[in-house]
Amino acid sequence: MLYYKNMETLKGKAASGGIAVAPLWHIGNDITVVASNDTPEGLKKQYFSLKSRVRAEFRRLSSLSDKEDSSMTGLFESYSIIMDDPVFEEAVLNRINRGYSIHQAILESGTELSRIFEKLSDEYMQARAADLLSVAEELLRELSGRGKIDKPDGEKGPDDDGFIIVAANLSPARLMRIDKKLIKGIVLSGGTVNDHTSILAGNMGIPCVVAAGDRIFDQKEGRIIIDGNEGEVYLEPDEETIGKFIEKKLRIEKLRSDARQRIKQDQIKSEKSPIAVMGNISDPGDTDSVLLNEADGIGLFRTEFIYLKGDDYPTEDEQFDNYSKVLKMMGDKKVIIRTCDIGYDKAARYMNLPFEQNPGMGIRGIRISLEHPEMFLTQLRALYRASVYGNLMIMFPMISSLWEIKEAKKYCEKARKSLENEGISCKKVPLGIMIETPSAAILSGEFAKECDFFSIGSNDLTQYTTGADRINEDIEKYYDPVHPAVLELIKITAENAHKNNIPVGICGELAADTSLSEFFIKAGIDELSVAPGKIIPVRLSLIS
């Protein structure tokens, strides 16, 4: 039996479950710099021609998707939208005007804008950074003549029976160009569990580990092991370890097959989960993943991305386009859209918000909207205009007092009437609030009389109940989502909601904790809203 003395275990993040044991294949950056001596006007014409070719490539990639990967159609549509986004395009054209090459203009514009999203604590918003970089990469690949290759580097992989891709990053478009029958696993030095590459890997059933660090490049050839359930990578594994993981892989595949059969049988029998399982999104491009994972609806559409991606307040039409697109895609399924929750860990520079010693307790959530009534009315008008395209519900964040609910409802009525006076169709939609503060949970009996539904934001509820800042890593051990006081406030909220005949859901990280399934059922929670990739595991935990 052969042993290697250099076996090393690296810890990353589990992005897609499963075990892979196969030869590695390093995929590097094969984009070459293309210089040009053309004038700025000539370069701009070349850029618009480049965009047309990339748009055609996105359409081609969409057509490659089969039924199990149909979510990519929506993804590549969203990539075209990002490519045409005025902020991104203006950044590129301004650099060309200042003497940059097309390559430099695209690279620096994509990098600069993506860093805005990367710095946010919300993983959904971080994933939008990856989307921006993917679009920039596709433009650069086409520019360098590498846009339509079927496999990275135009070569076969190291093993025709399959391989594990090792890379710094991997765009969904590039992944789609590789024969998926040959991909046994993916390990990336960067990335997030909520970016589209991670989601696509999950949809394709490919084990994936992200954020594993640069040491994944230490091994140059030979077999490696990745554990997509634990987020672990094994470099230079010995034969005994390889044997153990092959056995573990076979066991997992059997369990996964049994789980799929269970879901199929439940669907045939029309059996339903005792709790509706919804999806969280931050961008219209996430909707396809919600649908692919058979969610009962969207339990939380965070609208902050609309405010964060530009240099000024988003217009009513811009917001309407985003909201109506999601509602159309979801059809009759419920879509809960949260009004702007800028502030605290998410700030838009153009708002010129004052410095606060304790922003977590400052102007954020519904307070931002009430302090900026024109911004609030613009968003509400866009929402009500979009209401005719689906099953919309509007939710207000960070409510702590009864007067805030009443004031927000006044603005809703004002927005709705202004549209009616202009002859614009809209519906009267259900209005609800997020229970994120102890005061809201304690007074939920009174609040329920003014609301059509509740949604418990467990992240902030935990923060304010335990007095531990949820984005401060130094006090992570004090931030306890299953603290008895947090669970008690959830039970109180659910009881008061049902006394007043309104539904109650949970949309924070706690909703994805499958160890709490029995607690949620006993507490009377009606809905759980989680990241798209966690919808099926949560549903399975509820019907088991």
Q: Which residues are catalytic?
A: 196, 507
CA dihedral 334, 262, 269, 543 (to 10 degrees): -60
Whole-angstrom CA distances from 395 to 373, 383, 401, 426 are 16, 11, 15, 17
DSSP state letters, 119-159: TSS-HHHHHHHHHHHHHHHHHHHHHTT-TT-SSGGGS--S-
Helix (H) or strand (E) holding 418: helix 402-421
- Determine contact, residues 442/415, Cβ cutoff 8 Å: no
Q: Where are the alpha helices (DSSP H) in 234-330?
A: 239-268, 287-292, 304-308, 316-330
Measured from the Cβ of residue 319, the count of other Cβ atoms closer than 10 Å reads 24
The amino acid present at 119, given as its one-letter code, is: K
Strands, sheet with 232-235, edge to edge from the N-terminal-most edge strand = 8-11, 232-235, 223-227, 19-27, 163-167, 183-188, 208-210, 13-16
Strand pairing category for 223-227 and 232-235: antiparallel
Tell which residue, 506, 401, 491, has the closest CA to residue 458: 506
- The packing angle between helices 102-118 and 86-97, to 10°, is 140
Reported as half-sphere exposure (CB side, CA atoms, 13 A), residue 363 has a value of: 13
Helix (H) or strand (E) holding 281: strand 276-281
Tell which residue, 434, 439, 411, has the closest CA to residue 505: 434
**What residues are paired with 454 via a beta bridge?**
433, 504
User: Burial letters for 181-200: b for 16+ Cβ neighbours within 10 Å, e otherwise?
Assistant: ebbbbbbbbbbbbbbbbbbb
Say how far apart CA 23 and CA 21 lie, in whole Å.
7
The amino acid present at 310, given as its one-letter code, is: G
Say how far apart CA 79 and CA 148 lie, in whole Å.
16
- Determine contact, residues 294/543, Cβ cutoff 8 Å: no
- Determine contact, residues 136/107, Cβ cutoff 8 Å: yes
Reported as half-sphere exposure (CB side, CA atoms, 13 A), residue 19 has a value of: 19
Token reading at 181: 């029958």
Reported as half-sphere exposure (CB side, CA atoms, 13 A), residue 169 has a value of: 18
- 413 Cβ neighbours under 8 A, 6+ residues apart: none
The C-alpha R_g of the chain, in whole angstroms, comes to 24
